[in-house]
Structures are given as C-alpha cells and as structure tokens.
Amino acid sequence: QVQLVESGGGLAEAGDSLTLTCAASGGTFSSYAMGWFRQAPGNEREVVARISPNGITTYYGDTVQGRFTISRDNAKNTVYLRMTSLKPEDTAVYSCAASLSLFDLRFARAQYWGQGTQVTVSS
C-alpha cells in the first residue's frame, strides 16, 4: 500500500512559478511510474506529466509542454512538478498518482492516488 501526499499548492499570479511535491510512503517508490494530474471544476481529469520509475523518460500534456517539468528523487521517495509561466487556465486541483505502468498513466489509470492540492492562478 502506497500513500501519496501532495504539497506546494496555493495562490499565484499569472507568470509566477510554483513547485508541487508528492511524498510517497509505504511501498517501493522506485518501482512505480508517477504522474501528475489536474482537474478543474466541470472539467475532466487531465494528464499533466508522467515520469518513468528511473526518471529517464518523461511525457507532458500539450497544454503544459515547455512550462512544466516533472522530476523525481527516488532516494527521497518524492516526485516534483515545477510549474513556470503559470496561466489562469492552470487553476485546478493537482494530484499525483503511482502506477506500475507508465503507459497506464496516460489514461489516468493508477494504483494509488494522492488527495490533491489546489493551485489557483489569478490574472
């Protein structure tokens, strides 16, 4: 059983940067591909970024490509999402997830989910 806890959300202005952190416990973190997802009210869950278990392979959603960076530190059981050039449309609840399949994360299929952290970007 893996527990995921996100932190780092909050209020930001357009153009600002934020870094989200997802801390994992209770499992073999380095075995899991990790993903960041977001969901705004009335919208479907969106895949923001995915990273392979060893951190070498990353994928990004089209709306964040070039602005967001996913990374992980397996020694600290932590995955990060560095968000730059924030836009009001980035406002959402951001959640991290762990999956044994990097491919499955593309479809928001995961074994474990965090509770989410709110990011609000004002114009």
What confidence score (pLDDT) does residue 81 get? Answer: 98
Count Cβ neighbours within 10 Å for each residue of 49-71 and write b for 16 or more, e otherwise: bbbebebeeebbbeebeeebbbe
- The answer to whether 99 touches 50, Cβ cutoff 8 Å, is no
**Two structure tokens written together for 62:** 């089209």
3-state secondary structure of 14: coil
Could you give the angle at the alpha carbon of 75 between the alpha carbons of 54 and 84, nearest 5°?
Answer: 70
Give the alpha-carbon dihedral of 74, 21, 43, 61, to 10 degrees: -50
Q: Are 93 and 116 contacting, i.e. CB atoms less than 8 angstroms apart?
A: yes
The pLDDT of residue 121 is 98
Q: What is the pLDDT of residue 27?
A: 86
The predicted pLDDT at position 99 comes to: 97
Task: Give the pLDDT mean for 37-43.
Answer: 95
67 forms beta bridges with none
CA 75 to chain centre: 18
Model confidence pLDDT, tens digit, residues 80-94: 999 999 999 999 999
Query: What does the pLDDT average to over 40-64?
Result: 97
Q: Does the pLDDT of residue 102 top 90, yes or no?
A: yes
Label residue 34 by pLDDT band (50, 70, 90): very high
Q: What is the rounded average pLDDT of the residues 49-72?
A: 98
Nearest to 23 by CA among 63, 79, 70: 79
Predicted confidence at residue 57, as pLDDT, reads 98
